[in-house]
Structure 1
Amino acid sequence: MNQLKGELIAKMEECQKQQQQNIVELQKTVAVLSEIGPINRWDSAACHPSLALIGPEQLIVQRNGEEEGWISVRAEKAMSKTPYFEVTIVEDKSGIYWACDQKNAIGRPGWT
């Protein structure tokens, strides 16, 4: 009986140790995700008519038409203090300019 009790206690201690390690790993993951912040997406209300927002998450912007001039789209939320970007240019026919700004970008006509 005492041997069985000792084995159960040892198993419980091992489980507690594993749970504590899992908690530590989860805390590390939460800390990393907190730095990245929530995923932002493009704002359809602040999107130039020559641009299309693709997908339910609105993470992809596609230029439609051959209209020349400056066009833009804004994000729904302000950037975090540690922003993270991924940009993939599939095709460049007329030059691409990328800017991050809190206000109207450089005051160019046509920018939203």
Structure 2
Amino acid sequence: MIGLHQEQEVSFTARRRQGSPQETFTAVLRYVPDPPRLDEADQEQAVHAWIEDELTGSFLDEVLGSAPSIENLALHLYTGGARLLSGLTEVRVSPEPGVWAGYRP
């Protein structure tokens, strides 16, 4: 089953809170394609657009409504991404090379 997984990588910039430096985050959404829903490319575009609208240039503490940790960001991305990308199984987030946090239900 692991061979059926695909990954979508999205990068965006945001600040953890007002006054903090802008950071570039990389999110990797891992999923198993589900043909009965939207075309896979349409799903990926929808997720990318949602991340752009929801997070790019934002203050993460305001968007998340909690501590702007990468663990909370991974959960937020999973919750929003699961509505748009059928078969979503995991989200990983990195604020810098070599540092990752993830969420898997």
TM-score (norm 1): 0.22
The structure with the larger Rg is 1
What is the TM-score normalised by the length of structure 2? 0.23
